[in-house]
Amino acid sequence: MNLDALYPPIEPYETGELLVGDGHRMYWEASGNPEGKPVVFLHGGPGSGTSPWQRQFFDPEVYRIVLLDQRGCGRSTPHAGDPDADLRYVTTAHLIADIELLRKNLGITAWQVFGGSWGSALALAYAQAHPDAVTELVIRGIFTLRREELEWFYEGGAAALYPDLWEAFVAPIPVLERTRMIEAYHRRLFDPDPAVHEPAAIAWSRWEASTVTLVPDAEQIEAMSDPRKATAFARIENHFFVHRGWWEEGQLIAGVDGIRHIPTVIVQGRHDVCTPMMTAWDLHQAWPEAEFVVVDDAGHSAAEPGIQRALRAATDRFAGR
C-alpha cells in the first residue's frame, strides 16, 4: 500500500478498553499531540476495525487522533467472528452511544469526526444525534444504507461491471434464493456450523475486497479471506444491512438540516462501485454548504492516492480551526 500522500507512521501514546455495557469492551487508542485538536476516526464496514495506517490522515503535531474499534470487531470484545457471537447489542444506536461515552471519558468537549464508507453513515448519524459535540465533518465514500444503495452492490447491480467476481459471490447461494441475496446470506452467516458460515463469510468479504479499488489489491483480498476476520466483517455488515441501519429510508440525507452549520468536506471517488456516487451527489444536493470533492481517478478505497490527497487536504484545512 502506497501511503506517500499521508503523514509518516506513528504509534499511539495511549490505548484502552472502554466498558460500554451489554458485556462489550471497546478498544480505543490515541496518537499525535495529547494537547492537540481532537479528531475521532470512524472505520468502515461496519465490522472492518481500524488499522495503524489510518492515523496518518492527520498532522500528528496538530491533532489528538482517536481511533476506535466498533462493537464486535477489531480488538473490541466479544468478537463477532467467535462461534457464540451475539449481535443483539450491536446496533447503530449502541455505536453512537459508545462514541459519545468515549468522548466524555477522554474529557473532550467537541471533536472533528472523520469517517468513510459505513463510517460516513455513522459520522452523519452521530453528528445528527450530537451536533454540539462535532466541530467539523470529513466524510468519504458516502453510504446511507438506502434500499437502492444496498440493492446496487448486493442484489446484482454491480454485477454488470464485475460479472466474474459476482459469480463467485453468488456461488454459496442456491439459484432459487438469489433474488434476495442479503437475506440468503443472513441465513448462512448466522448458521452455527463453521462449514456453513465460514465459506459464506469469505465469499461475502472477498466480493467487497475485490471491488473497493480500481485495481484489485491482492494483499487486501487475502487479508479478508481469513475465516475469523471475514466472519466478523460479514456478520456485522449483513446484520446492519438486514435492519437498514435501524433508520427510516433516506433518514441521514433528510437530517442534514440539523447539522448544516457544521463545516464539512465530502470526498467521493467517481468510479466507486461499493458506494456509487449517486449517494454523495444526493447528499451534496441536499447540503450545498458542504464542500464536495470528486476524485476522478479513484474508486472506493481511502488507500487510493487521489482519495488520500483529498482527505489529507481536508484535515489540513481544518487543522487551524
Annotated catalytic residue 300: yes
Q: What is the pLDDT of residues 135-149, one digit of tens each?
A: 999 999 999 999 999
Q: Domain 3-145+246-319 carries which CATH code?
A: 3.40.50.1820
Burial of 288-298, coded b for 16+ CB within 10 Å and e otherwise, reads eebebbbbeeb
Of 186, 239, 284, 300, which is the active-site residue? 300
Delimiting residues of CATH 3.40.50.1820 domain(s) in the chain: 3-145+246-319
Q: What is the pLDDT of residues 166-204, one digit of tens each?
A: 999 999 999 999 999 999 999 999 999 999 999 999 999
Annotated catalytic residue 272: yes
Exposure of 195 by Cβ count < 10 A (0-12 exposed, 13-18 middle, 19+ buried)?
Answer: exposed
Of 31, 48, 76, 117, which is the active-site residue? 117
Structure confidence at residue 84 as a pLDDT band (50, 70, 90): confident
Of 205, 210, 272, 284, which is the active-site residue? 272
Q: Specify whether the CB–CB gap between 39 and 22 falls below 8 A.
A: no
Structure confidence at residue 1 as a pLDDT band (50, 70, 90): confident
Mean pLDDT to the nearest integer, 269-283: 97
Percent of the chain surpassing pLDDT 90: 92
Q: What is the pLDDT of residues 90-137, one digit of tens each?
A: 999 999 999 999 999 999 999 999 999 999 999 999 999 999 999 999
Report the pLDDT value the prediction gives residue 321, as an integer from 0 to 100.
Answer: 63
Residue 12, pLDDT above cutoff 80: yes
Annotated catalytic residue 197: no
Look at phi and psi of residue 30 and say left if phi exceeds 0, alpha if psi is from -120 to 50, else beta.
Answer: beta
pTM (global) more than 0.85:
yes
